Each structure stands twice: as C-alpha cells, then as structure tokens.
Amino acid sequence: MSLLGEARDFSVDVLELPDNNSYRTYADLERDYVVWNVFAAPEFSLDAKQWCFPVAGCVSYRGYFKADDAAKESERLADEGYDVAVGGVAAYSTLGNFSDPILSTMMHWEDVDLIALLFHELAHQLVYVKGDTAFNESFATAVEEVGVQRWLTFRGEEHLMADYMGGRELQQSLLTLINAARSDLKLVFASEVRDDIKRGRKKDRLAVLSADISAELQRRGKTGSGWFSGDLNNARLISTTLYEGWLPSFRAIYARCEQQMQCFYAAAEALADMDRADRQAALSARDLLGK
C-alpha cells in the first residue's frame, strides 16, 4: 500500500491529476470483480446497445455488482436476438463524485499494471464526456501511458517500460486484427443477401479472426486469449474498439504539446466541449495524425 500512496502523490505532483481522497483508502470486497459489465449488439450490426444514466450519460455497457445479475441480463438480451458478452471489471471510477477506494480486486495485478490503472481512473475525473466512451477511454489510456513512463523514470525502473509497452503493443496488434474483421463484417451486414447467408459469412470471418488472434499470441510467446477465449461475436468486438479508438490522436496531441500536461489537458478539455461530430472531426484531422 505504501507504493500506491507514493504513486497517488506522484499523480498529483507530476501528472497534475485531481488531488482528492480517491484511491487513498482500501476496501476488501471479498469477490473477484467489483462489477460485471454486459455488452450487447444486434446479430447483424456492430453498433453497441446503449444504456443511459443520470451521471455517466449513455454508455455501451451495463454494470452489475453480482455475476448472477449480469448473467440474467445477458440471457434476456440473447433471447431478444442480441449478441452478448459479459466481462468482470476489477476497478471503476465514480468521476470524482465519491472517494473511490483501492479495491482488493486490483491487488493480484503486477505493480506496473496497478499503477497504470490508478492513473487511468484518475484521468476520468479530469476530463469526461457523457455518452462518448471512445473519447473518454482513449484519453484516459493516453494519460496512463504518459504516467507509467514518467513513474518508471522517476523510480529508476525504466527497464520495466519495455514489458509495459510490449503489453500495449500486443493489445494494439490484436486491435488491428479486430478492426480488419469489423470492416469485413460491416460489408457482410450491409449486403443484400439472406440472413442465413449473412450468418454463415459472419461465422466464417469470426473463425478467421479467432485463428489470427491465437497466432499473434503464440508469435509473442503468450498463452490464452483472455476476453477472446470464448466464442467471438459482435458484442466482444465492440467492447474492444470502444476503449482505444482515438489513442493515436491523443498521443499526437501530447507530442504537439511538447509533453506538457497542462497543454495536453487543455486540448482534451477543448475537445470535450465540442459537439460529437466536431470532436470526431478534430480527432481525425489529417494534420493531427500526420497523414
């Protein structure tokens, strides 16, 4: 816990993240996850089902504190014809509305992963747009990356950065495979053929994706596929691309700001103040991404 306390101070002093009581206390939940998220998408669409809430706005998943409740909701949605997926979540953010504790569900992680999670969740308290999950998660992931790099440099543990970035690079490789499958599936779903033909083509493309993911993991010396160990479907695909779709844009903004946190945060806040269409256009700008 002393390491986390040091990292929490670092998040304020160096990363200029919110200085409050979040992640300064500990809570033992006596279960594996804090919540279980349910994702859903129509059988022939990659548009996520939305759930809307007063504080968080509209999000592309619904969380449950009990695994059984999440399972019941997934079964109900499956009966309605949705592709569904359920995943356990070890941490969360209340966006600064409450003093979020460090949870027992986080403590089985490696130190670097735990510190990364701390920076990620605090970033949500700084900039958050209701109803735009891709923006929120991409921004928080960018802050996480910057934070980990600075933290390891501060501690003289730069050698651990290679492992952290290796994990990030693997995740990006998998996302590339997933995005290619998404593009192919969109064409399938938009085609004017019978549903049974669409269903067969979807099954074949997901089988190829599953094999590609297994091959990439094997190439990098990894075993198991985590979130992709079960049957692939639209819900599993949308849950991955939600989280880092705009990450390259935020990396570019950070570089343009000459690695100054206040400049980076101000740019993120300016984007957050835009309407969704203008925000996406700005994040997609050719000069921003160096295209």
- The model's pLDDT over 225-246, given as tens digits with 9 standing for 90+, comes to 566 666 899 999 987 765 667 9
Residue with tokens 């206040």: 262
Q: Could you say which DSSP state residue 104 is in?
A: G
Backbone angle region of 75, left / alpha / beta, with phi > 0 → left and psi within -120 to 50 → alpha? alpha
- 267 contact partners, CB below 8 Å, separation of at least 6: 253, 256, 257
CA distance 254 to 142: 9
Q: Is the pLDDT of residue 148 over 80?
A: yes
Average pLDDT over residues 92-99: 81
Q: At 80, is the pLDDT very low, low, confident or very high (cuts 50, 70, 90)?
A: very high
Q: Helices (H) and strands (E) in the chain — how many of each? A: 11, 7
Quote the pLDDT of residue 206: 96
In terms of Cα–Cα distance, which of 92, 15, 8, 78 is closest to 49? 78
Quote the pLDDT of residue 168: 84
pTM attached to this predicted model: 0.77
Average pLDDT over residues 56-71: 89
Lowest mean pLDDT among 71-80, 233-242, 269-278: 233-242
Q: At 19, is the pLDDT very low, low, confident or very high (cuts 50, 70, 90)?
A: very high
Average pLDDT over residues 112-133: 92
The alpha carbon of 86 is separated from its chain's Cα centroid by a whole number of angstroms, namely 15
Query: C-alpha distances in angstroms, 265 versus 133, 254, 262?
Result: 17, 9, 5
Other C-beta atoms closer than 10 Å to the C-beta of 268 total 24
Q: At 85, is the pLDDT very low, low, confident or very high (cuts 50, 70, 90)?
A: very high
Angle at 57 between CA 53 and CA 60, to 5 degrees: 90
Q: At 224, is the pLDDT very low, low, confident or very high (cuts 50, 70, 90)?
A: low
Please count the residues of the chain.
291
